[in-house]
Amino acid sequence: MAAYLTYWLENVVVYQLLENTHTRYAACVDRYLIPGLGKKKLTKLTAKDVRTWLNQFRTTCQRCLRGIDARRDEPCCCGIGQCCHKVLSP
In a domain, 71, yes or no: no
Q: What is the pLDDT of residues 10-62, one digit of tens each?
A: 999 988 989 999 999 999 999 889 988 999 999 999 999 999 998 887 888 87
Buried b (16+ CB within 10 A) or exposed e, 39-58: eeeeeeeeeeeeeebeeeee
In a domain, 56, yes or no: no
pTM over 0.85: no
In a domain, 61, yes or no: no
In a domain, 17, yes or no: yes
Q: What is the pLDDT of residues 62-82, one digit of tens each?
A: 777 777 776 777 767 766 667
Domain range spanning residue 28?
2-45
In a domain, 10, yes or no: yes
Q: Report the number of distinct structural domains present in the chain.
A: 1
In a domain, 68, yes or no: no
Alpha-carbon distance 35 to 16, whole Å?
Answer: 25
Alpha-carbon distance 90 to 69, whole Å?
Answer: 23
In a domain, 73, yes or no: no
Three-state SS sequence of 23-73: HHHHHHHHHHHHHHHCCCCHHHCCHHHHHHHHHHHHHCCHHHHHCCHHHCC
